[in-house]
Amino acid sequence: MREFLAGGLRHATAFIDQAAMRANLALARSKAPHAAVLAMIKANAYGHGMLAVADCLAGHCEYYGVARLTEAEQLRAHGCEQNIVVFGHGYSANDIAMAAKLRLTPCLYSAQLLDEQLQQCHQHKLPFWLKLDTGMHRLGIPESASKCIDTALASPLCEVVLTHLHSADEPGMPSSKQQLQRFSEALKNSSKGNLERKLSIANSAFLMQASSPSGYANTLRSLLPAYAPEKEIIRPGIMLYGANPLAQAIADEKLLSPVMTMAAPVIDVKAIARGESVGYGATWRADNPGHIATIAAGYADGYPRHAENGTPVEIHGVRCPLAGRVSMDSIGVDISALIKSGVQVHAGDSAVLWGATLRVEEVAACAGTISYQLLTGVSARVERVNF
């Protein structure tokens, strides 16, 4: 990474550490070593570049997960032969036909659309996954809709039953345990629920809560009589990219390796007098004479518009505070303390907006948001450099 930053940057650049990504996937697999892994690469692989990430993780997981049919089409056009599950939205007759043509697996989630979609899947002999709603109330067949669940489970094309946990980041996971009980009851109450099928439950937060593989398996086994480790498919997402999905800091955070380093060049350095302001709205003023560095990255690149004054930015490995509002193409950084320490800053030097030593979670907190939004918000004009 140092050599990339030392070489000088022309514009905002996202450096993608592919070895770190594979290490994070290995960590996810270690939590449930007998399970298959579905790597979530939707939303341009959380901003990391979907096609490059698909190439990086090929052979390291059993499935890819995307949100849209168009994402899956891009993967197939790229030459990706991996099993691809499409989790979102719609599935018209044309969508089902396209999914069959491209060997994709749709995830069926709507009681209202189920009969028509099952008919289309049977027509094309297309396997599908079935999503149950156990409390998130976003997508999924309601747990109480036993007739719908029976109808879907009666199909030999139903390969996997899944649900989504809405609060897996809670300490102790009380809500997740309640959802798992509902999931178990829905299968138990179904006349077809005793048929052997694969289950998919664990997202990044649920996996990161597990202190050991045995603890993870015991948690699921205590709540799901039908649970069998070899019939599980885990769905890591944000943890693949090195961001901690948990609300509270835990020791495992150190085991997650940040994948993206977002960096940009210093494009100007100027002295500033006491009382002078920086940026739109004059929201920051210098308490003393000092120096401001202008960095060529702004909200058009994905740097958060609402990052507050004082948000850290690294220059020469030293944290310097954001000064003033974020502009479309640039930010101002107070480098006064760095200059006073004897370190010179020049146009052409590199600034790190987040990365290995300045975690994206910290920057997100300074902007009142989450790491997911920052990573997925890195714009198309930011070059991705894989190494």
What is the pTM assigned to this prediction? Answer: 0.95
Separation CA 314–CA 170 (nearest Å): 31
- Ordered mean pLDDT values, 10 residues apiece, the chain (387 residues): 78 98 98 97 99 98 98 98 92 95 98 96 98 97 94 96 95 92 90 76 94 85 86 98 80 79 99 98 98 99 99 98 99 99 98 97 97 98 98
User: How many residues can be counted in the chain?
Assistant: 387
Separation CA 261–CA 240 (nearest Å): 14
Q: Quick one: 35 and 160 in the same domain? A: yes
Q: Quick one: 294 and 225 in the same domain? A: no
Domain assignment present for 175: yes
For residue 100, CA distances in Å to 113, 255, 263 come to 18, 39, 41
Domain assignment present for 11: no
Separation CA 240–CA 259 (nearest Å): 8
pLDDT at 253: 57
pLDDT at 251: 46
Domain assignment present for 255: no
Residue among 42, 63, 109, 241 flagged as catalytic: 42
Give catalytic status of residue 270 as yes or no. Answer: no
Domain assignment present for 165: yes
pLDDT at 114: 96
Q: Quick one: 211 and 359 in the same domain? A: no
CB of 31 closer than 8 Å to CB of 250: no
Q: Quick one: 327 and 286 in the same domain? A: yes
CB of 20 closer than 8 Å to CB of 240: no
Task: Read off the amino acid at residue 88.
Answer: G
Range of the domain at 62: 18-245
pLDDT at 211: 78
Q: How many C-beta neighbours within 10 Å does residue 376 have?
A: 17
Residue among 101, 188, 270, 280 flagged as catalytic: 280
Q: Quick one: 88 and 209 in the same domain? A: yes
Separation CA 330–CA 22 (nearest Å): 32
* Domain harbouring 294, CATH code: 2.40.37.10
For the chain, the domain total comes to 2
* Domain harbouring 235, CATH code: 3.20.20.10
Q: Quick one: 237 and 324 in the same domain? A: no
Give catalytic status of residue 227 as yes or no. Answer: no
pLDDT at 288: 98
Q: What share of the chain is helix, strand, coil (3-state, %, to 5)?
A: 35, 20, 45
Instruction: Write out the two tokens for 99.
Output: 């999914």
Separation CA 58–CA 62 (nearest Å): 9
